[in-house]
């Protein structure tokens, strides 16, 4: 009997035949209502779930899927997948880190260029019949700070250094000895060393609110912030305040706290560029992502190691008795 996969992701339909041709039976549930209905109606026969970080998979949903064996997350982030609940059930979790790095890096550079060169305002002016001579900074020779030097951060760094002659610094959980870029020990130090700063770190508790008022003040009134990672990394209220008071030069945002809702305060600002969480979307990235999901599923259901496993916390049953008692 083919494995049944519950698909919660709404942007990959054109590439789902990749999984169907591998023999998987798919149940599509891209809306909250369809998701709840699918789990209620088909929960007992769902072997795998395909989701993404912001959509997640929660403990009560995992409990309602008694046959669930593997959760495949599209993209690097898995912040709303309950890893403890998965670990307690012995459920494997995988992600797609790095597959869409080129697409995200392209979008980050496009947003940076658009913001620094003020392309939206120039475009709007020409459409109104105006011909303003707007003077804006060049990227060449500027200092770029990257928060999170994983696959996406590295792709951005290469584009900035090799394509735009920028000096690159980074802050990471650990210093990387395999790169020539300058390491900064804190986000504030990185901001102080940057003209432009790109957030490229995963979401989750470990990165929540890394960019706050003190970091934004260190970036300064001529500094620009780009976030193509997760909104949770930036304190939105602090960012709005910094933008309104011109304590930073501008921001380009592809991610928001309560998508698809975007704060009106951000929409009303002229020093902000907004896109609807599309940095990782390209035909190439989407196909590669679904192909990786297929390889992980094929490996798992044939008894082989998955390609991109996520480290899970210790299961409750494996904890010492005193720790179990505290749960």
Task: Provide CB contacts within 8 A for 203, sequence distance 6+.
Answer: 53, 77, 79, 229, 230, 231, 232, 233
Residues 318 and 40: beta-carbon distance below 8 Å: no
Q: Which of 35, 159, 192, 230 is catalytic?
A: 230
Residue 259 annotated to the active site: yes
* Residue 9: closest CA among 59, 49, 69: 49
Helix (H, G, I), strand (E, B) or coil at 174: coil
**Residue 74 half-sphere exposure, CB side, CA atoms within 13 Å?**
25
> Among the options 277, 284, 295, 322, which is catalytic?
277
**What are the tokens at 58?**
């929660």
Cβ atoms 144, 195 nearer than 8 A: yes
| Contact between residue 250 and residue 136 where contact means Cβ atoms under 8 Å apart | no
Burial class (CB in 10 A: 0-12, 13-18, 19+), 77: buried
189 in active site: no
Decide: 194 and 143 in contact? Cβ < 8 Å: yes
DSSP characters for 269-309? -TTEEE--S-TT--HHHHHHHHHHHHHHHHHHHTTPPPSSB
Contact 252, 273 (CB under 8 A): yes
Q: Which one of the listed residues 10, 244, 259, 284 is annotated catalytic?
A: 259
In a 3-state reduction of DSSP, which class is residue 146? strand
Catalytic (active site) residue 277:
yes
Quote the crossing angle between the two packed helices 101-116 and 119-127, to the nearest 10°: 60
Cis peptide bond upstream of 260, omega within 30:
yes
The catalytic site residues sit at: 230, 259, 277
């Amino acid at each position: 009997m083919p494995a049944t996969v519950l698909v919660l992701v709404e942007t990959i339909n054109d590439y789902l035949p990749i999984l169907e041709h591998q023999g998987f039976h798919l149940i599509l549930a891209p809306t909250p209502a369809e998701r709840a209905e699918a789990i209620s109606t088909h929960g007992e026969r769902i072997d795998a779930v395909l989701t993404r970080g912001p959509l997640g998979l929660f403990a009560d949903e995992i409990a309602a899927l008694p046959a669930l064996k593997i959760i495949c997350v599209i993209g690097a982030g898995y912040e709303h997948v309950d890893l403890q609940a998965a670990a307690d059930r012995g459920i494997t979790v995988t992600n797609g880190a790095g597959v869409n790095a080129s697409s995200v890096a392209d979008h980050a550079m496009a947003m940076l260029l658009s913001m620094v060169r003020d392309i939206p305002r120039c475009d709007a002016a020409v459409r109104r019949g105006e011909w303003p001579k707007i003077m804006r900074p060049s990227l060449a020779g500027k200092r770029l700070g990257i928060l999170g030097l994983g696959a996406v951060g590295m792709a951005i760094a290469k584009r900035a250094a090799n394509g735009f002659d920028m000096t690159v610094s980074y802050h990471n959980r650990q210093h990387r000895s395999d790169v020539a870029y300058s390491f900064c020990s804190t986000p504030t130090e990185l901001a102080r060393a940057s003209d432009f700063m790109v957030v490229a770190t995963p979401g989750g508790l470990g990165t929540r609110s890394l960019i706050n008022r003190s970091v934004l003040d260190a970036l300064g009134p001529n500094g620009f912030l780009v976030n193509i990672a997760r909104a949770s990394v930036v304190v939105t209220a602090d960012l709005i305040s910094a933008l309104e008071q011109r304590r930073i030069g501008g921001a380009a945002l592809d991610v928001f706290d309560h998508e698809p809702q975007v704060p009106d305060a951000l929409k009303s600002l002229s020093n902000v560029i907004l896109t609807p969480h599309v940095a990782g979307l390209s035909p190439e990235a989407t196909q590669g992502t679904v192909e990786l999901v297929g390889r992980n599923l094929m490996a798992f259901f044939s008894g082989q190691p998955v390609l991109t496993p996520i480290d899970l916390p210790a299961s409750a049953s494996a904890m010492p008795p005193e720790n179990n008692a505290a749960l």
